[in-house]
Amino acid sequence: MNSEAVSALVAKNPPLKAHKAKLEAMEAGAYVVHRSWGFGQIKSYDEGTQKLLIDFKDKKKHPMDPAFCITTMDVLPANHLLVRKETEPKKIAELVAENPAQLVVEALQSYPNNAATVIEMEITLAQVIGEDKFKKWWSAAKKAVAKDPRVSVPEKKTECYILRETPVSAEDEILEQFNGTRSARRRIALAEELISATAKKDLKTDLSTILAGVADAVKSSNQLDASERLYGAAVRDDLAKHVSSEASFEPTQASLIATVRDLPAIAEKIPVHFQSRFLELIKETHPIECRDILFTLLKTSQGKFTTECINFLVENDHSDELAATLKRWQTEQNLRAPVLLWVVKNRHSKKFAKLLNDLITPRLLSSIFFAIDYEALQAASARRIPLADILSEDTDLISDLLSTADPETARDLANTLMLNQGFEELTKKSLLARFIKIFPKIQSLVAADAESKEEQLLVSKASYERKREEYETIVSKKIPENSKAIATAREHGDLKENSEYKMAKQDQSVLMAQKTLLEKDLGRARVTDFKDASIDQVSAGTIVEVKNAADKATRYTILGAWDGDPDNNIISYKTALGAALLGKKVGDTVKVKTGTSEDNYTIVSIGRYADTV
């Protein structure tokens, strides 16, 4: 917009005078970001209609009122990354691939005061990198940015990345943060960063003050739990080695794990990279009881700590005791999910062949089902169960475990699967197919059991596809969108007063309920083309002519559970009228109660729906 066009607009709407500078910036060629339409470019201004014509991604030459755009659209400076992606694509692509820290520096240069919040940066960079690649790229880029002396990195998402006027070394920044915080946890974490930095190059920084601060935090702070205190003591001792300090510190690492009954709680929270050192420390502190302690820790272990415990036992010549213990736990139904997960992931490993060969049996599959069912019943949310996931994703697992099973054992395990609370109905069917591939007779046995427990639903192919599409939309689109909405709302602050968060969580409950119901219905569905329908009696797939008490004739097409179309006299066999007519013959009369009224219908004729299509 030129100055004359802006003046004409202001004359027509005087309050716009305060925004004259922004209106003048809305000139042809300028790049913009609109709150609803996203990134675009102003192509021209139509003086006749007094509208801007803007090219957005999916809307070319979209007309917009400049007065409306003042509060909903920002004009981007020429050095903004989104603009430069259009004007300097090669340069931006080069920075993305080779120098992410410089890309962030140049991004900050386009913001007022050279500062932008984490959320602002991530939104812009995601558009530059691409949503599909951004998460992985940003995970690596943040590490490079954290080491760049030109950028001050925020601790929280609500704070800002700041481009410093004077570069500060990573070490000086750590020292500054250490001296500026009273949090014992933060001081321990910063001291560990400093140890890592000093290991890479020779620093002249005096670390004795840092050592004293960490030692005091470990000894006196009431902020730390037992695992944090132990880890802090390890960082303290590593720092003492770096400064060649011969001082003795209390409490020692050994004293912090002296009480055996405290070890499972400590193991549950220690950092992953400290787990192997923790086990070595147990061996040094409890040399006689070490093996028994390790088995106790393994029994209640989680995640990577399970692997660490098993490797430690094997490396310390306890393989035979480990094999015997795993077998005993299996017999006692005490094999918990993390250990089972490790067993199935390593069942083909040559290193653990002797340890696991006797475990890969149908009994292990029973243990897996028990653990999945238990975890599902204990879970308070709809979170994924890793053991259930691997059973679905590893297509050879069931066949491996059933290799020595007899038909009766396989049938019992198949029925256990169908009753399991940890699987969706569609997943159960998929897993059951793997049983049937090995033991075909299971199909009739399990089908008979299933039919006795829950009635199947007859449905047409078209209605089944509609339900399936509805399910896929919920799972692949609505639930992920809801998860993003929850994450976004959570960033807005106090959850107790956060109405957006509460609404998003309510939506989550509704979506999860819909998903569960659809899974159950789809699992019960039997698709049919209704060609098996007979004219001897009314069934799903027949066209029935009936007369009411007033001798008025009506034709009804009775189809599947999800095929109702009352406007065209198509009814489901599950409706009151449909259910009343099922099994009846020509000449029979049925009573149908609808609300407070009761009507009589006499069957005049029966035809086949399949003959009309």
Residue 413 lies in a domain: no
Residues 137 and 113 in one domain: yes
- The rounded radius of gyration (Å) of the Cα atoms in the chain is 34
Q: Would you say residue 278 has pLDDT above 50?
A: yes
CATH (domain of 155)? 1.10.10
Q: Range with the lowest mean pLDDT among 116-130, 335-349, 469-483?
A: 469-483
The CATH number for 585's domain is 3.10.50.30
What pTM value is reported for the model?
0.55
Longest dimension (CA), the chain: 108
Give the CATH number of the domain where residue 32 resides.
2.30.30
Quote the CA–CA distance of 230 and 268 in Å, as a whole number. 13
Average the pLDDT over 515-530 and give the result. 83
Q: 384, 310, 379, 315: which is closest to 345 by C-alpha?
A: 310
**CA-closest candidate to residue 96, choices 125, 116, 123, 135:** 125
Q: Is the dihedral of CA 137, 142, 144, 148 positive or negative?
A: positive
Q: Let me know: does 463 contact 525? Beta carbons within 8 Å.
A: no
Residue 452 has pLDDT above 50, yes or no: no
Question: Tokens representing 383?
Answer: 């979170």
Say if residue 173 is in the same domain as residue 249: yes
In this structure, the answer to whether residues 150 and 182 fall within a common structural domain is no
The 8-class DSSP code of residue 516 comes to H
The per-residue DSSP string of 557-589 comes to EEE-TT--BGGGTEEETTSHHHHHHTT--TT-E
d(CA 450, CA 456): 9
> What region, left, alpha or beta, does residue 333 occupy, with left being phi > 0 and alpha being psi -120 to 50 degrees?
left
pLDDT higher for 168 or 147?
147
Assigned domain for 513 exists: yes
173-208, pLDDT tens digit by residue?
778 778 888 899 999 998 888 887 666 555 555 678
Q: Are both 192 and 250 inside the same structural domain? A: yes
- Residue 576 burial (CB count, 10 A): 12
Q: Please check whether residue 397 lies inside any domain of the structure.
A: no
The whole-number pLDDT of residue 260 equals 94
Confidence band of 374 (pLDDT split at 50, 70, 90)? confident
Residue 391 reports pLDDT greater than 70: yes
Verify that 491 and 477 share a domain, yes or no. yes
pLDDT at 488: 75
Kindly state whether residues 134 and 176 are assigned to the same domain: no
- Judge whether 376 lies within some domain: no
Encoded tokens for 147? 């080491």
Which stretches of 4-50 are assigned E, i.e. beta strand? 31-34, 38-46
Same domain, 119 and 71: no
- Of 256, 282, 303, the residue at which a domain comes to its end is 256
Please choose, from the candidates 322, 335, 253, 259, the residue with its C-alpha nearest in 3D space to the C-alpha of residue 291.
Answer: 322
Tell me if 329 is assigned to some domain.
Answer: no
pLDDT for position 2: 83
In a domain, 533, yes or no: no
- Whether residue 282 is contained in a domain is answered as no
Q: Is residue 46, in this structure, part of any structural domain at all? A: yes
Residue 581: alpha-carbon gap to chain centroid = 48
Residues 181 and 225 placed together within one structural domain of the fold: yes
**In terms of domains, do 500 and 567 share one?**
no
Question: Can you give the residue range of the structural domain that contains 209?
Answer: 169-256
Burial of 140 (0-12, 13-18, 19+ CB in 10 A): exposed
Whether residue 85 is found in the same domain as residue 151: yes
Q: Which pLDDT band holds residue 555 (cuts at 50, 70, 90)?
A: very high
| Chosen domain end from 75, 99, 132 | 75
The residue from 168, 195, 216 where one domain ends is 168
Q: Edge-to-edge, what's the strand order for the sheet holding 151-152?
A: 115-117, 160-163, 151-152
How many domains, the chain?
Answer: 5
Mark whether 175 and 201 lie in a shared domain.
Answer: yes
Question: Do residues 109 and 162 both lie within one domain?
Answer: yes
Cα gap 262→528, rounded to integer Å: 61
